[in-house]
């Protein structure tokens, strides 16, 4: 079963969770550290997340060596400078995993960015590097040309396209798989009324989403647990190495339930509904983007 890490998207970025209160998020990070979370995911674009995370780790008194940080930066010509800025925000000397946050149709830029990550690794500023949200074909090609240590993607019933193909490829190439959004940013729990850019996600308009949510609700009644726990338990059963969960309120962490075991037939019933949803969307990811393959 996968292990759990803590993601900081809820600290707010340019599109999602835009109304997060930094003072409240400091409490969330403090609570996550006190609960024993050791692996944290953040990104250059997550507003104050890096700064808040760095301060929380320092204030906790936990040795930096006991914490693993995965950070993400876009493929841009200024990648090296942004990585140095991230280190300052995080108040640390190195980043454990630095990933290219999103693909681009510019093949040269991707390759140049990965070469920059190699340079940062040689300088001792990062321990490992990898890619995030890349298609399985991109992942296959890039992992043949570079020492990709980790890939990050949704491990969520909201988006199962190429999930198990990606996990299989990663295992063959000894690449770690980090999953995010196991609760589908709240959508899998039946939430649809959003004030941020979640309201524009293509999946919200699909009838297949309603079918999936009904199946999650059905299984939550059968298993006598919450819908959130059904979604998280499924994500932890996929074979991904690590699942990042997040929180926008402290009580969401306090209410975190122990995962349950789903039978093969229960997992299959969820995956059939989830695959129907993903197949109905003609995109490379749940956000409605299509990438020009390299």
Catalytic residues, by residue number, are 46
Cβ neighbour number for residue 269 with a 10 Å cutoff: 16
d(CA 162, CA 22): 35
Q: Are 278 and 285 in contact (CB under 8 A)?
A: no
Distance of CA 291 to the CA centre of its chain: 19
Give phi and psi for 191, each to the nearest 5: -80, 135
Where would I find the beta strands (DSSP E) of the chain?
3-7, 39-41, 68-73, 95-100, 126-132, 150-154, 176-180, 242-245
Q: Are 80 and 112 in contact (CB under 8 A)?
A: no
d(CA 75, CA 64): 27
């Amino acid at each position: 079963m996968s292990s759990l890490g803590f993601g900081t998207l809820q600290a707010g970025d340019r599109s999602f969770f835009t109304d997060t209160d930094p003072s409240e998020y400091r409490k969330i990070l403090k609570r996550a550290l006190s609960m024993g979370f050791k692996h944290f995911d953040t990104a250059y674009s997550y507003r104050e997340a890096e700064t808040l995370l760095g301060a929380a780790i320092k204030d906790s008194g936990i040795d930096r060596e006991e914490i693993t940080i995965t950070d993400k930066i876009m493929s841009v010509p200024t990648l090296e400078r942004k990585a140095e800025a991230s280190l300052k925000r995080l108040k640390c000397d190195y980043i454990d995993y630095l990933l290219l946050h999103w693909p681009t149709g510019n093949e040269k830029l991707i390759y140049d960015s990965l070469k920059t990550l190699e340079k940062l690794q040689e300088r001792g500023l990062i321990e490992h590097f990898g890619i995030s949200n890349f298609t399985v074909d991109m992942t296959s090609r890039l992992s043949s040309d570079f020492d990709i240590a980790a890939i990050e993607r949704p491990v969520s019933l909201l988006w199962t396209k190429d999930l198990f193909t990606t996990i299989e490829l990663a295992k063959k190439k000894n690449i770690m798989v980090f999953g995010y959004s196991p609760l589908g940013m709240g959508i899998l729990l039946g939430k649809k009324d959003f004030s941020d850019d979640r309201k524009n996600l293509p999946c919200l308009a699909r009838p297949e989403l309603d079918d999936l949510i009904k199946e999650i609700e059905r299984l939550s009644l059968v298993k006598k647990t919450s819908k959130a726990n059904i979604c998280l338990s499924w994500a932890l059963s996929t074979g991904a190495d690590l699942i990042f969960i997040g929180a926008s309120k402290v009580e969401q962490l306090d209410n975190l339930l122990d995962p349950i075991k789903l039978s093969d037939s229960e997992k299959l019933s969820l995956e059939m509904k989830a695959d129907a949803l993903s197949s109905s969307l003609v995109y490379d990811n749940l956000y409605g983007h299509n990438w020009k393959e390299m």
